[in-house]
Amino acid sequence: MNHDIFEKKGAILSISQFTLSWDASKGHRPSLEKSMPPQQAKIFYPTFNDKLKESGLNVGSGLFGAEMKVVSTNDGPVTFILNF
- The 10s digit of each residue's pLDDT in 42-82 is 899 899 999 999 999 999 888 887 887 877 777 766 666 55
The chain-wide mean pLDDT, for the chain, equals: 79
* Catalytic machinery residues: 17-19
Q: So what's the pLDDT on residue 2?
A: 79
pTM value surpassing 0.75: no
**Helices assigned H by DSSP within the chain:** 38-54
Confidence of residue 84 (pLDDT cuts 50, 70, 90): very low
Q: How far is CA 25 from CA 17, 22, 29, 33, 35, in A?
A: 19, 9, 9, 12, 15
Q: So what's the pLDDT on residue 66?
A: 80
